[in-house]
Structure formats: structure tokens, C-alpha cells
């Protein structure tokens, strides 16, 4: 059974950094691209970033390019979202999402979602 569990959320001051992790289980992790998506309070979904199954490339939304970095560690079946220079508008629930199908060289449909971790940026 596919399972994604995010962690690392919390309250952080503007300008600071935060590292989110997503632990994956129940599938061949090294075969799947992974996404991060966020949802601000009372707002819609916003796609943030994607990493290819082999880690060779990452893609970012314009809103976070240069501040957020996504990486993966196949040995621990984990993806990480490193967030820097945080702003109040980064306050949201952050979801880790697995691609729908394996071994693709570009984004696929967002197949399985974690339950999310909440990030609050506030002084």
C-alpha cells in the first residue's frame, strides 16, 4: 500500500529557513517522480516543484524558484523540500505527491498524496 508521510512543518519567522521531509513506503521509490504541492488557508492548490525518478532534474514554479530546493534520497526513500527566505505568504499545508506512473522523463498526473504538513510563517 502506497504511503507518503510528510514531516518538518511548524512555526517559523519570516526570512528563516525550514526543511520538510516526505517518507515514502509501499512502492519502488526509485522508479517514481515526486512533487510538492501546497495549499494556503482557505485557498486552492498550488504546485511547487517536481523531481524526476532518477533525480537528474527538478522543475519549479516561478513563485518559489531560487528559494525552494527539492531533493531525493533513494537509500532512505525520502524527498526533501528545503525552503529559504520564507515569507508570510508561504504559510500553507505542504503535500508530498507521487507521480501516477513510473519511469517517466516528465511530470505525470499527481497520483498519490500524503496527508500534508502545516507550515506557518509568522513573527
| x/- track of binding to another protein for residues 86-105 (CB under 8 A) | ---------x----x-----
Query: Would you state the cell numbers that stand for residue 99, as one nine-digit string?
Result: 507521480
The site for another protein, by CB under 8 A, has a size of 22
Q: In terms of CB distance, is 29 or 47 closer to another protein?
A: 47
The one among 51, 86, 116, 117 contacting another protein by CB under 8 A: 116
Q: Does 27 bind another protein (CB under 8 A)?
A: no
The one among 17, 28, 88, 106 contacting another protein by CB under 8 A: 106
CB of 1 to another protein, least distance (A): 13
Q: In terms of CB distance, is 1 or 123 closer to another protein?
A: 1
Q: Evaluate whether 99 touches 44 at the Cβ level (below 8 Å).
A: no
| x/- track of binding to another protein for residues 37-56 (CB under 8 A) | x------xxxx--x------
Q: Does 35 bind another protein (CB under 8 A)?
A: yes
Q: DSSP readout, the chain? A: --EEEEE--EEE-TT--EEEEEEEESS-GGG--EEEEEE-TT--EEEEEEE-TTSS-EEE-TTTTTTEEEEEETTTTEEEEEE-S--GGG-EEEEEEEESSSS-SS---EEEE---EEEEE--
CB of 16 to another protein, least distance (A): 26
85 backbone φψ class: left, alpha, beta (φ>0; ψ -120 to 50)? left
Amino acid at each position: 500500500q502506497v504511503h507518503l508521510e510528510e514531516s518538518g512543518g511548524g512555526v517559523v519567522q519570516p526570512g528563516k529557513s525550514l526543511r520538510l521531509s516526505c517518507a515514502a513506503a509501499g512502492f519502488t521509490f526509485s522508479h517514481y517522480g515526486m512533487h510538492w504541492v501546497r495549499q494556503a488557508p482557505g485557498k486552492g492548490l498550488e504546485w511547487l516543484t517536481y523531481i524526476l525518478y532518477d533525480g537528474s532534474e527538478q522543475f519549479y514554479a516561478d513563485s518559489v524558484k531560487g528559494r525552494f530546493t527539492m531533493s531525493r534520497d533513494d537509500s532512505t526513500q525520502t524527498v526533501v523540500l528545503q525552503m529559504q527566505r520564507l515569507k508570510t505568504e508561504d504559510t500553507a499545508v505542504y503535500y508530498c505527491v507521487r507521480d501516477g506512473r513510473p519511469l517517466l522523463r516528465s511530470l505525470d498526473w499527481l497520483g498519490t498524496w500524503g496527508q500534508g504538513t502545516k507550515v506557518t510563517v509568522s513573527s
